Amino acid sequence: MATISVIGIGSGGINTLDVLLKNKINGILYTAIDTDVESLEYSLATEKLLLGEGIVGEHGTEGNPELGQEAALARIADLRLLIEACDIVILLACAGGGTGSVVINILSDIAHHLGKLTIVLTSRPFIFEGSKRNDRASECFSDLFTKTDLLVILPLDDMAVDIPKDTLMLDVFRRVDSIIAKAAEYLIGILQDTGTLPLNIDEVYFDRGYYFYNVSIWDEDRYQRAYYIYLDLPDQYLIQ
């Protein structure tokens, strides 16, 4: 059976990883990676990798991708070992920050060159988080196109569209974590059953309404259309 490794990167990716661990999705190698010591301390993962010792402060990169790059490259040998240990790698991160957006690309690049089946689940930041964070996320997605077998991008604004306006942001992000984790669970189920993904078709239909696109056939226009298809899904098909 193929060895599957799920790696949560940055606080957002680690939160999703912890949901999978709480749901007891077994038979998987779980690893949490961050530049933030506290984020790793609270994670349920048994395997943890701290980046940036002597490079960043106690709260990690604080959104600085240059620090994230330096921190990751300082532990590049350890990152490579993580990828070498598996046949299939699933990377989880919220795009736009200083750690997840950088490290997910470095890990994808390593996995791609080692010939590993590489799947990325990530999210586009809320609009209110600002243009800087959203632009950084777009750069992250562009870099990932040629490095992944399957790229899943979930826009946070659309996942939260039916949440009451008085909901605490912490609860909003918890729901987002659960949705991304459910997507990961679905893909893990396919991989555990078959050892591969049906990438010979344009799209993989997920549960009650999410479409995932095989990034290897995307061009820039297709990327936009993928978003439109996601946005146009009828309400009754959205995951509750």
Domains of the chain: 4-237 (3.40.50.1440)
Mean pLDDT, all residues of the chain: 80
Look up residue 53 and give its amino acid: E
Percent of the chain with pLDDT over 90: 42
∠ CA 111-115-118, nearest 5°, is 50
pLDDT digits (tens, 9 = 90+) for 116-126: 999 888 888 88
- In angstroms, the CA 100 to CA 115 distance is 22
Region 57-84: mean pLDDT is: 93
The per-residue pLDDT for 167 is 86
pTM for the full predicted model: 0.83
Task: Return the sign of the alpha-carbon dihedral for residues 145, 146, 147, 148.
Answer: positive
**Which residue pairs, CB below 8 angstroms and at least 24 apart, start in 64-67?**
64/98, 65/97, 65/98, 65/101, 65/102, 65/136, 66/98, 67/35, 67/98
Q: What is the helix (H) or strand (E) element at residue 151, kind and residue range?
A: strand 150-155
Contacts of 77 (CB under 8 A, 6+ apart): none
Region 198-203: mean pLDDT is: 42
SS3 5: strand
157 confidence band (pLDDT: 50, 70, 90): confident
**What backbone torsions phi and psi does residue 193 show, to the nearest 5 degrees?**
-80, -40
- In angstroms, the CA 91 to CA 119 distance is 6
198 confidence band (pLDDT: 50, 70, 90): low
SS3 230: helix
Torsion of CA 10, 16, 20, 23, to 10 degrees: 140
The per-residue pLDDT for 101 is 92
- Does residue 37 register a pLDDT over 80? yes
Name the residue among 83, 96, 162 with its Cα closest to residue 129: 96
- In angstroms, the CA 235 to CA 75 distance is 44
The per-residue pLDDT for 201 is 33
197 confidence band (pLDDT: 50, 70, 90): low
Find residue 212's DSSP bridge partners: 204
- Does residue 104 register a pLDDT over 90? yes
